[in-house]
Amino acid sequence: MFRNQYDNDISTWSPQGRLHQIEYALEAVKQGSASVGLRSKTHVVLLALKRSSGELASHQQKLFRIDNHMGIAIAGLVSDARVLSNFMRTECMKSKMMYDRPMPGSRLVSMIGDKAQANTQNYGRRPYGVGLLVGSYDEDTGAHLYECLPNANCLEYVAVSIGAKSQSAKTYLEKFAKDFDETDADGLIMHGLHALRETLQQDKELNMDNCSIGVVGKDKDWELIEGDRLKAYLDQLESGAATTETGAGEAMDTE
Amino acid sequence: MFSTYPGQVVVDHPVSVPIEHRFDPYVDNGGTLLSIAGEDFCIVAADTRQSEGYSINSRYVPKSVKLSDKTVISMGGCYADCLTLTKKIQQSMEWYHHAHGKTMSTAAVAQMLSIMLYQKRFFPFYSWCILGGLDEEGKGAVYTYDPVGSYERESCRCAGSASSLIQPFLDNQINFKNQESQRKQLTKDQVIRITKDSFTSATERDIYTGDYLEIFVITSKGVEVQKMDLKKD
């Protein structure tokens, strides 16, 4: 797959009609730890598995607040994520200043797409090495969840997952997705935690240090749930594990 | 009758004279604001009349804005400048929150506002600002500004068109200046009563003050807003 003669820069096509640099950028997203997003009609929940480089190190932040009505979960190069989140924050503030209303999620995601595309067509640049899950609640159109990738594709989803072993999470989400519309925020969080748990390695488990949840929705500003506040949800996940054992077994397919 | 001076020419017909037009960006929208710091509370009060000369633009345009649960800002002068300055402060507070994960303290906002004002030293914001809130120890704090950023923390201050009417009254009733009588800590209700009396009296004598009074009361529980009528003449 690698070491082609057509993969040295972004502005070289391969004879098969591929831009290899973009595909390599997508690899960077796949190497990041998992992030999961799902939504109902009124709420969006983003969850992420936080990695730490060692026992003594802190866990890398994966969820960022963009505005009261919007937040993102990332997978991939955190430094690129910082640049993009600063861009999103600035644009939200500019939009509020100009039009006296919160930035619509779809509009901001289009701007990210355009920004990402520029890096795929200019010589000497490189694509962003980060995938974003953008959750936003717009007053007039409701809850939205978008996936933004380095290939500049920005698609809207009901539920999605990116990062390492994200296919396992996707399989779980696909099974229950038809229920999400009518589920309340806490219900979405529990489904999200189940999905996130699927992405863990055999000997690992979700705990208050490596897990992060973000919620935004109708009459609910973006809220980050981390640390001790996760206890209630993680306990519920443990006690509910028995009933969903069969479900988890089926979802555990080979990666 | 009329005195003449060298070079003056008197004619018996109308003449046209060139009128100098200069860039005149500032407008005074009038109004009065005050803020009083208590032991564990702070009051920020302002009338809501917006005027231009002898005309009233609106009877209800609030001059005070809640910046956080601990801080309220009030601005008088040119409303356009006040509005934009408020938005700039709110944006900066939002960036601070993004970067540090917490709300800016009142003292930090106070310093930042001074810097922001001085950055336009040579084309100032025509804003008379008063920042009121609770400091990090939970005590009431009032910060006063001039249009280019000179600031100071005080116990009470009044600004705007009726400031010269109200400030001496506050010196007497809040700070007991030049009096032999015993100084005492005033309660929140006493301060609110003094505030209301200040504004009703100012409304009598100052044409730019009136219509409605909005009082922001900042305590450890948060910010509560009271509104009362003032004379509308």
Q: What is the pLDDT of residues B55-95, one digit of tens each?
A: 999 999 999 999 999 999 999 999 999 999 999 999 999 99
Name chain A contacts of B91, Cβ cutoff 8 Å: 93, 97
Give the number of other CB atoms < 10 A from CB of residue B183. Answer: 10
pLDDT value, residue A155:
97
Query: Strand locations in chain B, DSSP E?
Result: 32-37, 42-47, 50-52, 55-58, 64-66, 71-77, 127-134, 140-145, 151-154, 156-160, 212-219, 222-229
Give the model confidence (pLDDT) of B139-164 as tens digits. 999 999 999 999 999 999 999 999 99
Of all residues in chain B, the percent with pLDDT exceeding 90 is 87
Question: Is the per-residue pLDDT at A213 higher than 90?
Answer: yes
Residue labelled with tokens 């929140």: B188
Task: Give the span between the Cα atoms of B98 and B175, in whole angstroms.
Answer: 40
Instruction: Give me the interface pTM, i.e. the ipTM.
Output: 0.74
Tokens of residue B174, six digits: 């809040």
CB contact under 8 A, B98 and A65: yes
Concatenating the DSSP letter of every residue in B122-157 gives TS---EEEEEEEE-TTS-EEEEEE-TT--EEEESEE
DSSP secondary structure, A21-60, as one string: HHHHHHHHHHHSPPEEEEE-SSEEEEEEEPPBSSTTSPBP
Chain A environment of B94 (Cβ under 8 Å):
89, 93
* Portion of chain A with pLDDT greater than 70, in percent: 93
Q: Is A89 on the interface with B (CB under 8 A)?
A: yes
The pLDDT-based confidence of A244 (bands split at 50, 70, 90) is: very low
Q: Residue B17: pLDDT band by 50, 70, 90 thresholds? A: confident
Please name the member of B87, B95, B98 whose beta carbon is closest to the beta carbon of A97.
B87
Percentage of chain A modeled with pLDDT above 90: 88
Min Cα separation B20/chain A (Å): 35
A7-16: per-residue pLDDT in tens? 999 999 999 9
Residue A245: per-residue pLDDT: 42
Interface with B, mutate which of A63, A65, A72 (most B CBs under 10 A)? A65
Across A95-100, average pLDDT: 93
User: pLDDT tens digits, residue range A103-140?
Assistant: 999 999 999 999 999 999 999 999 999 999 999 999 99
